[in-house]
Amino acid sequence: MSAASPRPRANRLAGEKSPYLLQHAANPVDWHPWGDEAIAKARREDKPIFLSIGYSTCHWCHVMERESFENAEIAAYLNAHFVPIKVDREERPDLDQLYMTATQAMTGGGGWPMSVWLNPRLEPFFCGTYFPPDDRGGRPGFLEMLRRIQRAWKESRGTLDEQAGRLARAVGSLVDEGDAPAAAPVSLPATAYRHFERSFDAAFGGFGGAPKFPRPVQFSFLFRYAAATGDGRARDMALLTLERMAHGGIRDQVGGGFHRYSVDAEWRVPHFEKMLFDNAQLLAAYCAAWQFTRQPIFEEVAREIAEYIRRDMTSPEGAFFSAEDADSEGHEGRFYAWRLEELREALGAEEARIVAERFACVAEGNFEDGRNVLHPAEEIEAVARRLGMPAAKVRNVVARAKPKLFAARARRARPLRDDKVIASWNGLMISGLATAGRAFGDTAFATMAARAAEFVLVRLRDPATGQLLRRWRDGEARGAAFLDDYAFLAAGLLDLFEASGEARWLEEARRLTAEQIEGFWDATRGGFFLARGDDPTLFVRPKSDYEGAEPSGNSVAALNLLRLAGLTGDEAYRARAEETLRAFGPRLERFPPAMPLMMCAVMDHLAPPRQVVVAAGADREQAETLWREVNRCFLPHTTLFGPNAPRPRALAGMKPVNGRSAVYVCRNFACHAPTTDPDQLLEALGAPPIPQRPLRFEPGSFMLPQ
């Protein structure tokens, strides 16, 4: 279900559109949205601000709301002595980054809900995350913290203001570390790779221990590094991780798509929220894995992600919603987990027995309250041997069972869906779908991507200025767009251009990039700021220089600029990309794994520009066949021009061969002899070789059979 309308006795959040803010609109806390009214009140009454930042599908945000923000005593104290402000981090990533940097600087950690106390100058003087309502385990509860901070505000105001000033300066120094721009060393990608290699879990994939968060930018780096260097180990780290995730509970084995992260090292039990940005990037990663291997499991997972998005996360107009909650009926994972008797009710005793064996379900449950998270812990052949039946029968039973389980699950109370449309996350999904459309030769994916692109370009525009806006919900577009919105959307449009050959997507990407340069470029140090420079409430103008669950807007911008140079022949784009890379060179050298996608841009910049052109002859079907073969290959550092795509002047002379469609592979716009035979394309393209045996990973080993 979508976010419900606020109940009676609503506070100032009742007029907002954010599902997260509306969740708090009936709290007894006198919440304000971030804005002039709340800030003026704090200054007029000389009160500290309590700033709470979270998002609608955040489990611990729900917990703190139930325990503290719905507590009448806590609310009364908070209202009397503070100006409470609620912020949806997905609407205001600039505030989120700024105050998360402060929280991490003060506490050494961070997370959501984020709880920050500010002076009326909006400088933070005390930071934390979740607080229980009362004292627990030697730690003060939320009400006690409020009392202590109020006492310090009255008795030690000067000290708090000094602390706020120091913390604000520390945040400023972290955001702008003062390094002179410098080119990244040529050896830097190899250094980053060794960092990932040292932390790799060779048994279950992923990096580090539990909890395990997918970080899709790592897959992008590892696949590109493998293609650039021929290092099979880099490729196999990505492949093993994606394979283990596909066989874990982090993948929704019934409905498709991926949950946020795994609480264990084996990807078995997830934290159940589903995010658009995760699934968008994982869709692209599974497409790349399929292009590398042609193994059916990777295509199956990619198609499931796309179907989940089409079915559950797409608006009637074609835009993509943001997220689904982990909780339903007051319990995390209730919608997704199964008791054995529920399996028997849905499938019958015999099918349920086979499915329980296949998905590691037991009477006592592998999760909570006797419930099981479905995850295929071993190969079907092993399950079949244990059951004493042919593997084909097990496979058929499982295939028949999935739609039955889906239908049974659909009758349950569904987790809340955050149905706001965010420009940047739609850009990521447009990229993923366009990539899937090319890889699998399925125009339905490109059509989905095009509908979303049309929506964002038309609906998320300021009618007065024409500038891009951040979010749309319930008929309202609002909030100035950030760097990520421009960069991610432009990247999606470039992928859509390569998938379709339609010139309008390239032109829209160029227009967005021009607006991005005008509004966000750092003329002093290079690179792009996260926010425009016209917001006086930001005590520091943040610049994204780390990639976790989402890419950095600067990394995507650098890649876009390099791609635009290749697609248009305009070297001004390449010069701007070089300035961006120089701006982040010291950061990359200091901590290479911080920005894996910026490392991809470094590799793209170092590699000789390569172009692949399909010149269509009279045999249009042959041109499409050649184009499909090109798209089935993993080709980083390459600009693709399909049979319908406009080309820059330097490539305009690529013609069919004796009237027959042909593929030209060019480096630095110097082209080799054209190829007309699809069977010769793989060698001509220099694509990574396709393994000839099925993908199987043995425990403790992650090398792919050659």
**For position 638, which CATH number holds?**
3.40.30
- What three-state secondary structure class fits 440? helix
Residue 143's contacts (CB-CB under 8 Å, 6 or more residues apart) are 68, 71, 73, 74, 77, 133, 134
**N residues, the chain:** 706
Orientation of helix 423-440 relative to helix 296-312, angle to 10° = 140
| Nearest Cα to Cα of residue 470 among 486, 455, 458 | 486
What does the pLDDT read at residue 679?
Answer: 81
* 650 assigned to some structural domain: yes
* 594 assigned to some structural domain: no
Residue 491 has pLDDT above 80, yes or no: yes
Same domain, 171 and 226: no
What is the average pLDDT score of the chain?
A: 93
Q: What is the Cα–Cα distance from 602 to 220, expressed in whole angstroms?
A: 13
Residue 4 has pLDDT above 60, yes or no: no
Residue 561 has pLDDT above 50, yes or no: yes
Last residue of a domain, one of 394, 417, 440: 417
Residue 697 has pLDDT above 60, yes or no: no
Same domain, 126 and 48: yes
Same domain, 93 and 227: no
Domain with 144 in it: what CATH number? Answer: 3.40.30.10
Same domain, 232 and 164: no
> What pLDDT band is residue 43 in, cutting at 50, 70 and 90?
very high
Q: Which two tokens stand for residue 100?
A: 């998360």
Q: What average pLDDT does the segment 255-259 reach?
A: 98
Q: What is the Cα–Cα distance from 246 to 253, expressed in whole angstroms?
A: 9
For the segment 17-36, what is each residue's pLDDT rounded down to a tens digit?
999 999 999 999 999 999 99
> What pLDDT band is residue 180 in, cutting at 50, 70 and 90?
low
Q: What is the Cα–Cα distance from 270 to 261, expressed in whole angstroms?
A: 5
Same domain, 20 and 103: yes
| Nearest Cα to Cα of residue 97 among 175, 209, 19, 29 | 175
* 111 assigned to some structural domain: yes
> What pLDDT band is residue 5 in, cutting at 50, 70 and 90?
very low
Q: What is the Cα–Cα distance from 260 to 296, expressed in whole angstroms?
A: 24
In sequence order, what DSSP letters do the residues of 307-368 get, joined into one string?
Answer: HHHHHHSB-TTS-B--EE-SEETTEETTTT-B-HHHHHHHH-HHHHHHHHHHTT--TT-SSS
First CA to last CA distance, the chain: 47
What does the pLDDT read at residue 702?
Answer: 41
Our count of domains for the chain comes to 3
Sign of CA dihedral 181, 183, 187, 192: positive
What does the pLDDT read at residue 379?
Answer: 87
Same domain, 217 and 297: yes
Residue 312 has pLDDT above 90, yes or no: yes
For the segment 567-593, what is each residue's pLDDT rounded down to a tens digit?
999 999 999 999 999 999 999 999 999
Same domain, 146 and 38: yes
Last residue of a domain, one of 417, 448, 477: 417
Residue 86's contacts (CB-CB under 8 Å, 6 or more residues apart) are 13, 20, 21, 24, 31, 32, 33, 34, 52, 53, 54
% of the chain beyond a pLDDT of 90: 87
* 601 assigned to some structural domain: no
Residue found by looking up tokens 């721009």 in the block: 181
Same domain, 239 and 370: yes
Q: What is the Cα–Cα distance from 322 to 82, expressed in whole angstroms?
A: 31
The predicted model scores a pTM of: 0.95
Cα 4 to the center of its chain, rounded Å: 26
Same domain, 230 and 83: no
- What three-state secondary structure class fits 67? helix
* 557 assigned to some structural domain: no
Residue 692's contacts (CB-CB under 8 Å, 6 or more residues apart) are none
What does the pLDDT read at residue 6?
Answer: 40
> What pLDDT band is residue 2 in, cutting at 50, 70 and 90?
very low
In whole angstroms, how far apart are CA 447 and each of 137, 231, 465, 499, 645? 55, 35, 29, 10, 17
Last residue of a domain, one of 175, 197, 220: 175
Angle made by CA atoms 492, 205, 217, in degrees to the nearest 5? 25
* 503 assigned to some structural domain: no
Same domain, 124 and 244: no
* 526 assigned to some structural domain: no
In whole angstroms, how far apart are CA 227 and each of 64, 187, 419, 615? 46, 16, 38, 25
Same domain, 170 and 247: no
φ, ψ (nearest 5 deg) of residue 327 = -100, 150
For the segment 648-678, what is each residue's pLDDT rounded down to a tens digit?
988 888 999 999 999 999 887 778 889 998 8
Q: Which two tokens stand for residue 287?
A: 């497409």
CB 30 within 8 A of CB 79: yes
| Nearest Cα to Cα of residue 495 among 441, 449, 561 | 449
Q: What is the Cα–Cα distance from 660 to 616, expressed in whole angstroms?
A: 7
Residue 3 has pLDDT above 70, yes or no: no
Query: Residue 672: how many CB atoms within 10 A of its CB?
Result: 11
For the segment 514-550, what is each residue's pLDDT rounded down to a tens digit?
999 999 999 999 999 999 999 999 999 999 889 999 9
* 498 assigned to some structural domain: no
For the segment 124-172, what is each residue's pLDDT rounded down to a tens digit?
999 999 999 999 877 789 999 999 999 999 999 999 999 999 999 999 8
Cα 525 to the center of its chain, rounded Å: 27
Same domain, 253 and 402: yes
Q: What is the Cα–Cα distance from 632 to 196, expressed in whole angstroms?
A: 27
Residue 78: which domain range? 12-175
